[in-house]
Structure formats: C-alpha cells, structure tokens
Structure 1
C-alpha cells in the first residue's frame, strides 16, 4: 500500500470515496433501470388491443346494383374490410353473373369469403370476418337459366 493509501486509511478518507462511488453506481443503475421499466411498459401497451375499437370499425354494407358499372364501388367496400350483402334482383342475369365473377376475384384477392344467401343475394366478407353455417335454398321449379 502506498503512502497516500495509508494516509487516507488513517483519516478515513478512503471509506468516504467508496461510499460516494457506491452511491453514484446505485443512482446510475436506477437511472438506467427506469427507462428499461418505461420501455417494458410501452411494449406491454403495444400488445394490448381494445375490443371496442375492433367492433367500431366493423361495418356491413347493403348493395343493390342496377348495372355492372357499380361493381367497382362494391369491391372498394371489400378492400376497405367491410362486409357486403349484394342483392342482384334489379339486374339481368348476364350482368349479375359478371358482378359475381368480379366480386369473387375481389374476395379472393383479400383472402375473404363469398356465400350465397338466397337465389339472388350474396354475402362477401374480407379476411377479418369469418362466416359460419349454411343457408339452404329450396328450389321451386326455377328456370335452370336463373340458377347460379
């Protein structure tokens, strides 16, 4: 031990230095731990999803197109993650088939589903909506041309 060390040890100066250094280390470690705690809190909050916000964004749109030109507007609803019920009673059979073909492609592109609800009514949903169950249709001597 050097002469300085003996002198400090004799007067107790060395103990104070250690206490100061220990206090500084404790303050630094607690200061470092606080941002870590804050970031952990932020990470926890980012993993939480409010169910009320999910429910507010879910919409169903009812459409009754009069011609094929309206199909793009209907497809935009699907792309924007809204379910669409399409009633094709007001269009002729050829345009109705074209509308369903276009909507089938749109639904496929967004990984959604399309279901037939009635003879001329279809439900198209995006991927965030799941369809379960079936609706059976009783065909009463309907012209084969009108069947889908």
Structure 2
C-alpha cells in the first residue's frame, strides 16, 4: 500500500510519466535489436559528407567587342564562375555600358567586383570573396586633400 501511495505522489508531481517513457523506449530498443535489417539502414543514413570538398574553379576571361556579349558574361556569373573583363581596347562609351550592365548583374546576384587595372575588372559571384592588396589612388588622396601637411 505504501508503494501505491508513493506512485500516487510521483504521478501527482509528474515523475511517473518519465518512468513509463523510459520503459517504452527500452521496449522499442529491444524491438530494434531483434530486427538487424533496420540497424543497417540507420548506418546508411548516417553517412558523413565533406562540405568543403575542393573543386577546380574556372575563371572566365573575356574581351567584349560589342554590347551583345554582356549577357553571356552575366550567365557565367549566374553559374557561379568568376569573370575577368578586359575593356582596354573597347570604346569608352561601350566600356561604360558594359561595366554598368555587369555591375548591375553582379549586384543582383550578391556578388562583388574589383577594378584590377586600367580597363580590367574582376567580377565574382556571391560564393567567392576578393582579397586584394591593390592600392586605390583615390583612397590614398582622401576627400580633403588640402588638409594634408
């Protein structure tokens, strides 16, 4: 009778359910042990794959001569390929239009760009970062050049 009183107190406090859940869990574990084919499936589901598998990155280098070629450049960015655009030989108006279009596409894809040289730009998709040690002459001059001593 004392055992029933303790059970009632434990059930009132909410401890009895845990004991029942543990017993049910043990019963389920015994059933799983009786069926070895289920253990094999659980092992197969636990396969670990490396997320940092290195794959070769292909960099696309283009020298567009017409504005019609920019869609192909944007498609390369959509396919997560970095693109180097050489506009040294292009006319200034055409070069500006090309850079504007590809910059917009890069922005829409959350990518980034870097001016590498005079008329040479690097556009990368959002899965890559640009690490650069190039010095920007505008940044060195500063906004208020008259404040320099």
TM above 0.5, yes or no, is yes
1:88 Cα deviation (Å)? 0.3
CA distance in 2, matches of 1:26, 1:99: 65
Instruction: Write the distance in 2 (CA, Å) between the matches of 1:26 and 1:124.
Output: 55
Between the aligned partners of 2:50 and 2:42, the Cα distance in structure 1 is 15
Do the aligned residues in 1 keep the contact of 2:32 with 2:38 (CA within 8 Å)? Answer: no
- 1:48 corresponds, among 40, 47, 50, to 50
CA RMSD of aligned residues (A): 2.7
Q: Select the structure of larger CA radius of gyration.
A: 1
Matched pairs, number:
111
Among candidates 29, 45, 55, match of residue 32 of structure 2:
29
Shift of 1:59: 1.1
Structure 1 residue 51, shift from structure 2 partner: 1.6
Confirm or deny: 8 A CA contact 2:32 2:39 kept in the other structure.
no
Deviation at 1:77, TM superposition (A): 0.5
- The runs of at least 4 aligned residues of structure 1 exceeding 2 Å deviation read 25-29, 31-45, 47-50, 136-139
1:50 CA displacement: 5.4
Instruction: Give the TM-score, by structure 1 length.
Output: 0.63
Contact 1:65 1:90 in 2 (8 A): no
Residue 121 of structure 1 is matched in structure 2 by: 120
Residues 82/26 of structure 1: CA separation in 2 closer, same or farther (3 Å cut): closer
Using the alignment, how far apart are the partners of 1:51 and 1:136 within structure 2?
33
CA drift at 1:131: 0.5
> Which secondary structure state, in structure 2, belongs to the residue aligned with residue 51 of structure 1?
coil
TM-score by length of 2: 0.63
Matches within 5 A, 1:99-114: 99-114=98-113
**For the Cα contact (< 8 Å) 1:61–1:85, is it kept in 2?**
yes
8 Å CA contact 1:119, 1:137 repeated in 2: no
